[in-house]
Amino acid sequence: MAEDSSFAIDRALRQELEGWRRAGLSHLPMPPRKRSAASPASASAKPATTRTPPSSNSFSRTTSPPASRTTSRPTTAPAASTTHALPVVSEPLPPSPHAAGSRDDREWRLNQLRQRVAACTRCQELASARTQTVFGVGNPEARFLFIGEAPGADEDAQGEPFVGAAGQLLNKIITACGLKREDIYICNILRCRPPGNRKPLPEEAANCREYLDGQIAIIDPDFIVCWGATAAQNLMGTEESIGRLRGRTFQHGRATVFCTYHPSYLLRNPAAKKDVWEDMKLFLKQAGLPVPA
Ligand code: URA
């Protein structure tokens, strides 16, 4: 009975929100979030001081995580977002026909989400200008999730994240770390290219948040690397600069989060490469991987 009534409330809420959305209302002002002076980052970005590196050196999982984690579906509300947007509420993905947490299951659910993203028109300016959406790419069982900002011209043309000049540099960093692109899953805060490569607007990040949360829930990474301020600030709901976020670790759900400079920034400021290398060494050490000298 209790489940029936909560289902009915859930459905009524979804219908109400959908009605508002159809009526053209996409965002509601909300009171600013209170921040504690002791913890400038939001609750979703807790410093991760107690995490023990795994003993295995493998880049991807060999065992399925517990079903309770793998059956989670995308969250519908932005987690501690700095934007004051009305959460976008979608229908849950249909149940996967595969064993929860298996590679097939992850691939199936990512494909369902990819189809939703391909049809998305939440950000009208972006949807009307894009060549295609850029969902994400990589190993659905990856332990490592890399998050960038948004597709650029090359990514918009090819439908894959980080394939342009910044992507070439990211590839070099991945190789220097002893990793391969196939060890990683890569996506962005936005799945459409902002015109002129401008920074994503807060409402665009909020509109796309459901897809990012969905990818995180499906891949269920051990480690997330945020490349640049846009990725770090949006993921964790903080306004701290990337210069202050890097060199530390945070907790986002089950994942330990690292933040570092964006490869595009490195192309403009090669002197910052040494900082990124320090960040990568910290990441590799915590991940239990060999740290190159
Ligand atoms: N920059 C990003 O942040 N993401 C991409 O996919 C490409 C460039």
pLDDT in tens, 99-146: 999 999 999 999 999 999 999 999 999 999 999 999 999 999 999 999
- DSSP strand pairing (255-260 vs 249-252): antiparallel
Residues 6+ apart with CB under 8 A from 61: 141, 143
Ligand 1 and 154: CB distance under 6 A: no
Whole-angstrom distance, CA of residue 265 vs CA of residue 268: 5
- CA distances for 193 relative to 109, 122, 171, 225, angstroms: 24, 13, 21, 21
pLDDT of residue 250: 98
**Is 232 domain-assigned?**
yes
Residue 292 confidence (pLDDT) above 60:
yes
Domain that holds residue 213: 100-288
How far out from the chain centre does Cα 100 lie? 21
**Does the residue 293 lie in any domain?**
no
Nearest CA owner, ligand 1 atom 7: 162
Domain containing residue 188: CATH number: 3.40.470.10
For residue 185, tell me if it sits in a domain.
yes
pLDDT bin (cut points 50, 70, 90) of residue 69 is very low
Q: What's the average model confidence in pLDDT over 254-268?
A: 98
Distance 19 CA to ligand 1 centre (A): 34
- Give the number of domains in the chain: 1
> Which of the two residues, 256 and 80, has the higher pLDDT score?
256
**Three-class SS of 93-105:** CCCCCCCCCCHHH
Say if 107 falls within a structural domain: yes
Encoding tokens for residue 191? 């799945």
Reading the block at residue 165, the tokens are 């000049």
pTM: predicted TM-score of the whole model, two decimal places: 0.76
In a domain, 241, yes or no: yes
Tell me which of 20-29, 65-74, 125-134 is least confident.
65-74
Residue 37 in tokens: 């002076």
Mean pLDDT of 246-263: 98
CA of 286 to the centre of ligand 1 (A): 25
Question: Taking residues 24-30, what's their average pLDDT?
Answer: 39
Q: Does any domain span residue 29?
A: no
Any atom of ligand 1 within 6 Å of the Cβ of 194: no
Please choose from 149, 171, 235, 265 the residue to mutate so as to test ligand 1's pocket, defined by most ligand atoms within 8 A of CB. Answer: 149
More confident call, 283 vs 54: 283
pLDDT, tens digit (0-9, with 9 covering 90-100), for 204-231: 999 999 999 999 999 999 999 999 999 9
In a domain, 140, yes or no: yes
Segment 158-172 shows an average pLDDT of: 98
Neighbours of 118 (CB within 10 A): 12
